């Protein structure tokens, strides 16, 4: 989430020294207390030593219950939200049939015990993601198996517990806070685009992170707009300044996929606008499995005022480019949009700035209003405009102050969990495809904003289906077999300590969920 004050109590609290966690667990075998022999089937092995992995410590509570500790962001113990780890060497569960009801004989309970936040969408039905070797597509666990509550055993921290059945002994299971989107995946995606040799897509390295990872800058526009002396209307988009906010990358990919497509709207947009996109501002944080910070523990979205070339090199590079474009009389920087994900709100929505000039303030509301018409998951009523002091170092606030009255700067937020369609109360969990669709709708909205609709008919050709839509249709045909899930009686009786919190009642409607 972009805009949480570091001083707010829910933003993070320091851990005591006795909780210090150095790194990720590496093929950590949990053996029962007093057991000395070779590990056996059923002695779970936990691992988070892989890209974007995060799990710092495992404590066995009983044969079937484990306390799990998130590894704090590197050099910043205040942030503990993102987790991503594997479990293997599982023992298949025994299933007995009793009077037409399948009762699962064994199950495990995982308690994530050291979240740094108190408010969470877990209260509203969010559930961790799971996939396994034989079912490689990420699924959300059924919300009925997930509990979020204040736990006296863990200094009254908020704990998220979930029950799970391991049903295939050979599978490696992976659990994550939200759909992972790694630096390597991003690099492969850009490599595949580059290989297509599109004359309206350009990739360059704008800089490097502290650990020498690429800061990629994409330019998508008709080659005519790049001729010497051509005037440019620029839309600048950034993402993943907060590394745990993986939905940002899916939205960003949706924007890119749409803009490089042969869709008539995309062709008109490329003719009229220059899109500059830096999709991953914090590649080290993404690689390391941090939630909010860079390698050195900085929240980069609080350092726009004076980024250091050695401590915040990616931010420094992007800021330099934006300032340079602003000073170029041939360039009109019209939009800056920074994409984040929100851990307590539903839907997509925006934050904007407050200006003394009433007309500018009103005009700033136009883009989110148009986006609301195009995207059923975007909420204008959740969109807000502010100038809080704690947000002075954000990209939106800093550039809003720097750029002139013809530029608009927004933070685009999208929920880690779900959206509620207007006029209903049903929470629809976001899928990877739904995040990308929001991105496509963001791109389309520039057509409405610049009133370019009449031009679309002129370039209209038989409309090819978008690749993502085709892939989604294909995926729907190939549903993986579902996981078995424990049958539970209810929160209070489920948790071993009996401390389950009541959740707000939400009607879950996810067509992709087989449960
Ligand atoms: Zn954020």
DSSP letter string, 426-447:
EEEE--HHHHHHHHHHHHHHHH
299 alpha carbon to ligand 1 midpoint, in Å?
9
Percent of the chain with pLDDT over 90: 67
How many residues are there in the chain?
515
Res 279: pLDDT: 98
Give the model's pLDDT for residue 236.
98
Q: Is the pLDDT of residue 92 over 50?
A: yes
Ligand 1 centroid to residue 337 C-alpha, Å: 12
pLDDT digits (tens, 9 = 90+) for 395-444: 888 888 888 778 899 999 999 999 998 778 889 999 999 999 999 999 99
> Which are the catalytic amino acids?
413
Question: CA-based diameter of the chain, in Å?
Answer: 79
Query: Taking residues 153-164, what's their average pLDDT?
Result: 89
pLDDT for residue 496 is more than 60: no
pLDDT of residue 109: 96
Q: In this predicted structure, what is the pLDDT of residue 17?
A: 39
Q: Report which secondary-structure segment, H or E, holds 104.
A: strand 101-104
Collect residues with CB below 5 Å from ion ligand 1. Answer: 1-2, 242, 245, 340
271 — pLDDT class (breaks 50, 70, 90): very high
CB 337 within 8 A of CB 237: yes
Query: How many angstroms separate the alpha carbon of residue 79 from the centre of ligand 1?
Result: 12
Phi, psi (degrees; rounded to nearest 5) at 183:
-60, -40
pLDDT at 483: 78
3-state secondary structure of 194: helix
pLDDT class for 498, splitting at 50, 70, 90?
very low
Handedness of CA 399, 77, 116, 248 (dihedral sign): positive
CA dihedral 325, 363, 359, 391 (to 10 degrees): -70
Q: 341 alpha carbon to ligand 1 midpoint, in Å?
A: 6
Distance 250 CA to ligand 1 centre (A): 14
Q: Which two tokens stand for residue 377?
A: 């998951």
Q: How far is the CA of 212 from the centre of ligand 1 (A)?
A: 23
pLDDT of residue 468: 60
Task: Find the range with the poorest average confidence among 97-111, 147-161, 165-179, 377-391.
Answer: 97-111
Per-residue model confidence as pLDDT tens digits over 339-386: 999 999 999 999 998 888 888 888 999 999 999 999 999 999 999 987
- Give me the pLDDT at residue 475, please: 59
pTM: 0.87
- pLDDT value of position 422: 77
Position 502 pLDDT exceeds 60: no
Query: Could you report how far apart the first and last alpha carbons of the chain are, in Å?
Result: 29
- Residue 13 pLDDT exceeds 70: no
Confidence of residue 23 (pLDDT cuts 50, 70, 90): very high
Give residue 49 CA to ligand 1 midpoint distance, Å: 24
Question: What percentage of the chain exceeds 70 in pLDDT?
Answer: 83
- Strands of the sheet with 426-429, listed across from one edge: 418-420, 426-429, 507-508
Could you identify the residue written with the tokens 């136009």?
366
Say if residue 167's pLDDT is above 60: yes
Place of tokens 């320091």: 14
């Amino acid at each position: 989430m972009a805009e949480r004050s570091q001083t707010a109590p829910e933003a993070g609290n320091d851990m005591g020294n006795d909780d210090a966690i150095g790194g990720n667990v590496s093929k950590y075998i949990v053996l029962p207390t007093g057991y000395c022999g070779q590990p056996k089937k059923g002695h779970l092995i936990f691992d988070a030593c892989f890209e974007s992995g995060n799990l710092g410590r495992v404590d066995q509570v009983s044969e079937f219950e484990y306390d799990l500790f998130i590894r704090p962001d590197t050099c910043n113990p205040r942030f503990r939200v993102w987790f991503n780890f594997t479990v293997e060497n599982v023992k298949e569960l025994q299933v007995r049939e009793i009077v037409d009801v399948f009762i699962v004989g064994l199950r495990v309970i995982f308690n994530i015990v050291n979240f740094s936040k108190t408010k969470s969408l877990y209260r509203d039905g969010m559930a961790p993601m799971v996939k396994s070797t034989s079912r490689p597509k990420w699924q959300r666990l059924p919300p009925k198996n997930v509990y979020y509550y204040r736990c006296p055993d863990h200094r009254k921290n908020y704990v998220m517990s979930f029950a799970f059945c391991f049903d295939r002994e050979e599978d490696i299971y992976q659990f994550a806070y939200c759909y992972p989107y790694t630096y390597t995946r991003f690099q492969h995606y850009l490599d595949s685009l580059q290989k297509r040799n599109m004359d309206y897509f350009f990739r360059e390295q704008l800089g490097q992170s502290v650990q020498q990872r690429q800061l990629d800058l994409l330019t998508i526009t008709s080659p005519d707009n790049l001729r010497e002396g051509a005037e440019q209307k620029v839309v600048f988009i950034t993402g993943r300044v907060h590394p745990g906010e993986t939905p940002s990358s899916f939205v960003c990919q949706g924007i890119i996929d749409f803009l490089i497509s042969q869709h008539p709207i995309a062709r008109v947009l490329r003719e009229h606008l220059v899109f500059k996109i830096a999709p991953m501002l914090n590649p080290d944080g993404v690689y390391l499995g941090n939630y909010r910070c860079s390698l050195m523990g900085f929240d980069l979205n609080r350092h726009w005022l004076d980024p250091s070339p050695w401590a915040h090199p990616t931010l420094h590079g992007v800021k330099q480019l934006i300032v340079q474009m602003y000073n170029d009389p041939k360039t009109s920087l019209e939009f800056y949009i920074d994409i984040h994900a929100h851990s307590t709100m539903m839907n997509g929505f925006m934050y904007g700035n407050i200006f003394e000039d009433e007309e500018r303030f009103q005009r700033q509301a136009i883009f989110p209003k148009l986006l609301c018409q195009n995207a059923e998951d975007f909420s204008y009523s959740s969109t807000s405009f502010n100038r809080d002091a704690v947000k002075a170092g954000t990209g939106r606030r800093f550039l809003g102050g720097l750029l002139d009255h013809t530029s608009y700067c927004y933070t685009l937020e999208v929920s880690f969990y779900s959206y509620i369609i207007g006029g209903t109360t049903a929470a629809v969990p976001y899928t990877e495809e739904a995040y990308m669709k929001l991105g496509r709708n963001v791109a389309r909205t520039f057509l409405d904003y610049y009133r370019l609709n009449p031009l679309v008919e002129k370039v209209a050709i038989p409309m090819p289906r978008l690749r993502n839509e085709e892939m989604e249709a294909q995926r729907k045909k190939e549903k993986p077999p579902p996981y078995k899930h424990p049958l539970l009686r209810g929160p209070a009786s489920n948790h071993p300590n009996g401390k389950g919190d009541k959740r707000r009642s939400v009607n879950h409607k996810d067509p992709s969920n087989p449960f």
